Structure 1
């Protein structure tokens, strides 16, 4: 390592996890020279802000379109009503999300074998500028057993602080109160209090005036991205990391390219963090010559079962017109009820209030009568090494990186899990109303959850089935770290962001101690 590197820490990727590395490092050791790069454009102010915080609808749509990457095949925007199947005849709609783009052209289905819904975002803030902000804690079999439990609880608490997680967003929602009680009476038996049916924990803040601010990476970075605050942090948009420069086991820095100009430069660093996403992090390691046997393997997703119901007239009348967030079309803050994962209930359920559906959402001239709710049941998937990403040494993607190909399938055990999830979703739906279609419940195309995991998975030992150790340092390297959902090694059903941010908290503290020569104080619940 040079005696005077250009920077102390290079972070590739500006999503919630990359931002957590920056925030924790800066908190532990102020004036650390941190450079963060992202291949995508800045789409909001401050950089990394959630698009839901953009008040002008046209500006928000433009920000979403700008996130759809260099590909000629972005996802179009569909309303939540159509995503849930309302007004869509003849089966399940494609999972089309604003701000994302497909991994491969739909005409090249062989590149996403078994994972037709695979997508990602390319922008400052990554998926953190578009996510639904669900932040449930993992439970039972979702937990990582080789991380010290008290330390893990503290890391989760710190992650909740960084993400501004609240459990009180729906305190005035009759829908959440009534449905929590109704579904809880059906599912809560034998559950500990923290795993009972409850309002969904969300990463957002609600002002005294009721204004909602959704948590994007800007809220994690805080003063690091405030122009009036002098810091040693720099964020460069539209800057692609071509490769990490390795000298044996040491990451010396990286080769960066400013995409608008094509100008390339090399930076040196004391430590390098790759937190691109679960697909592009292993891609960058591969092109950098860092190729452990498990790289790209154990590609995990949450199979998602959805259904939608017209609420029973009595329930709809009981809720009245005072339900918080009266329509998914009128408010981005949609009331949500969470059914937590447990060993006896291996699903993570979400129940969403939709309200009345305008005719424009159904593509018809008439508004369907009644009020509606949607249910989604996320299933754990069996972890298999053959579910993986491979990278080509001859083909290149739109950015000139090794083209990726996804290999993914459902095992017999997965099919059984999905069948049970459909049955349970039907039972819960019947408590609320009548199905809007005989095609429901239905399984969304693989990849629809956008919760890709396992591709740079963590392990307790270097046994060729994992990519990094319990501090997220890549096996066989001295100063190269990975972050993001891809690090999660367990089978899960809950939204993975809180888990990934908690792992980044632990990793960033280890990085400071090892490479910036600072003994960090013990992690505590209020720090």
Structure 2
């Protein structure tokens, strides 16, 4: 792997380079700084909040429609071949506007097979603590309790949605993000954050990364970073893009393949009057099961879709959403072509849902329609959303047991490269219905242990 390379004139030395400032990069940075290591974090995006990576809900009061517009403006489409797939190029990444849903993966359907049950439970428990996950933030909502009890009495199994947030001393909900993860290390002399710096490629000799090339997007100057360990946590598309641009793809046949994304069935309903008389917010979910391989959520949230017409009273409107497990398929992939103006190869997607995936989608539509008609009347008709809408692309740098079918091992270390680790939803090998962030954090915690061991050695 690799190409001949001479370091640029401007050089930065550090123990660890972390590329990407989303919650996964932040987890790596925090764990390594707390262990006494020097970490440089870089991101191509700007710092848009006073505290780096703050959730924008924490700093502004907006209607859900207005916040949906914020999300739309923050999303950068990744490719015309899947227009709904997008990334957020900013310090904090998608954690600046995510819904904070942190449900645990189903132990048989979604949990990684690379870890023992006890090991994975330990990783998930730590991930929940770091993200401040709880299911009690809406306990005071009588509407939520009544809806949950009504549905469960008819054979469902809805629970309060686990959310990454906590209440401050005034009772305000503070949503978790990169800012809350990094808060203990932001003032550390061992932590440096560089916004507006694009990592274009890594240089590899003798199965070891020797340096990384950065471009300052503010000055267009070139910087070389020399580190002991390198971590790419730039998302399920931009991470393999950097690896591809580093001439490493030939030795990693699974790179960009096994791409998974959730199928989404969605509608909006106006609650029946017998429910609308109750007060409080609603956020409940029913997890995937062996006989029903999808997650069902009932809430009212801001997404890049689902805005209500201005003349519709939003007070009694709820979203009903189902997201299904999509089985990994080696042919579903992201590929990279000619370089764009930023010097990076252009991504394109080749993804086709299987017959099995489409059958699940049809069953989800039945569930959405049944719940909608049970609870109220349609505001928007049920529909299968375009692929990529969930913004949960996974699998493109998947973890596994061999280089033939995966990109990283159980420690998220790239096969054949001694000091390169990956993070994010790309490492998730299993098809998942639930939101993948918590699972990605679990992988990152294990990866951070691998990096710490390597640094100690």
Q: Which residue number in structure 2 is paired with residue 24 of structure 1?
A: 31
- C-alpha separation in 1, matches of 2:358 and 2:66: 29
Q: 2:184 aligns with which of 217, 220, 223?
A: 223
CA drift of 1:230 comes to 3.7
Q: Contact 1:299–1:389 (CA<8 Å) still a contact in 2?
A: yes
Indicate conservation of the 8 Å contact 1:5/1:270, yes or no. no
Residue matched to 2:363? 420
The structure 2 residue matched to 1:397, chosen from 328, 340, 343, is 340
- What CA deviation, in whole Å up to 9, does each residue of 1:274-293 have, x standing for no partner? 00000100000000112110
1:146 paired residue number: 114
Residue 116 (structure 1) aligned to one of 83, 90, 94:
83
In structure 1, how many angstroms separate the alpha carbons of the residues matched to 2:86 and 2:167? 30
> 291, 305, 313: which one pairs with 1:344?
291
Q: Which residue of 2 aligns with 1:329?
A: none
Q: How far 1:398 sits from its partner (Å)?
A: 4.4
Q: Does 2:435 align with 1:501?
A: no
Q: What do the CA deviations read for 1:327-375 (whole angstroms, capped 9, x no partner)?
A: xxxxxxxx31111112122111110148xxxxx9414xx4459822210
Query: Compared with structure 1, are the counterparts of its residues 373 and 250 closer, same or farther at alpha carbon in structure 2 (3 Å cutoff)?
Result: same
Residue 435 to residue 146, structure 1, CA distance change in 2 (3 Å): same
Aligned to 2:8: none
Shift of 1:148: 1.4
Secondary structure at the residue paired with 1:506? helix
**Contact 2:143-2:275 at 8 Å conserved across structures:** no
Equivalent residues of 2:202, 2:242 under 8 A apart: yes
Matched position secondary structure for 1:175: helix
Q: Is the 8 A contact 1:79 1:361 kept in 2?
A: no
Residues 157, 224 of structure 1: CA spacing in aligned structure 2 closer, same or farther, 3 A cutoff?
same
SS in 1 for 2:266: strand
- Equivalent pairs counted in the alignment come to 439
CA distance in 1, matches of 2:49, 2:142: 34
Contact kept, 8 Å, 1:243 with 1:255, in 2: the verdict is: yes
Residues 370-402 of structure 1 deviation map (CA, whole Å, 9 limit, x = unaligned)? 82221010011121111111111xx22342201
Deviation at 1:498, TM superposition (A): 0.3
1:256 aligned to which of 199, 214, 230: 214
Instruction: Give the Cα separation in 2 of the matches to 1:232 and 1:376.
Output: 43
Moved more, 42-51 or 481-490: 42-51
TM-score, normalized by length of structure 1? 0.79
| 2:376 counterpart residue number | 433
Decide whether aligned partners of structure 1 residues 235 and 353 sit closer, same or farther in structure 2, where only a CA change above 3 A counts. closer
In the alignment, structure 1 residue 55 sits paired with structure 2 residue 15: no
Superposed CA deviations along residues 450-498 of structure 1, whole A, max 9, x for unmatched, are: 0000000000233x11111011001111110110000000011000000
Asked if the contact 2:335–2:347 (Cα under 8 Å) also holds between the matched residues in 1, the reply is: yes
User: 2:239 is matched with which residue: 270, 278, 281?
Assistant: 281
* Change in CA separation of 1:402 and 1:499 when aligned onto 2, cut-off 3 Å: same
Instruction: Give structure 1 stretches of 5+ with no counterpart.
Output: 62-76, 84-94, 189-195, 325-334, 355-359, 518-527
- Name the structure 2 match of 1:460: 401
Contiguous gaps of at least 5 residues in structure 2 = 1-10, 302-306
Q: Does 1:372 align with 2:347?
A: no
Which shifted more, 234-243 or 419-428? 419-428
Change (3 A) 1:288 1:202: same
| Cα distance in 2, alignment partners of residues 203 and 221 from structure 1 | 15
Distance 1:504 1:119 in 2: 22
Matched, 1:130 2:97: yes
Pair 1:344–1:98, CA change in 2 (3 A): farther
RMSD: 2.3
- Structure 1 residues 345, 496: CA separation in 2 closer, same or farther (over 3 Å shift)? same
Tell me by how many angstroms 1:323 deviates. Answer: 1.4
**Alpha carbons of structure 1 residues 267 and 370: separation in structure 2 relative to 1, 3 Å:** closer
What residue in structure 1 maps to residue 304 of structure 2? none
Shift of the alpha carbon at 1:5? 8.5
Q: Which of these residues, 35, 40, 51, is aligned with residue 40 of structure 2?
A: 35
Q: Do the aligned residues in 2 keep the contact of 1:78 with 1:97 (CA within 8 Å)?
A: no
Counterpart-to-counterpart distance in 2, 1:425 and 1:42: 39
d(CA) in 1 for partners of 2:134 and 2:168? 12
Q: Deviations over 1:65-115 (max 9, x none)?
A: xxxxxxxxxxxx9558x99xxxxxxxxxxx9734112123xxxx4xx1xx3
Match of 1:223, SS state, is coil
200-209 or 451-460, larger mean C-alpha shift: 200-209
Deviation at 1:223, TM superposition (A): 2.4
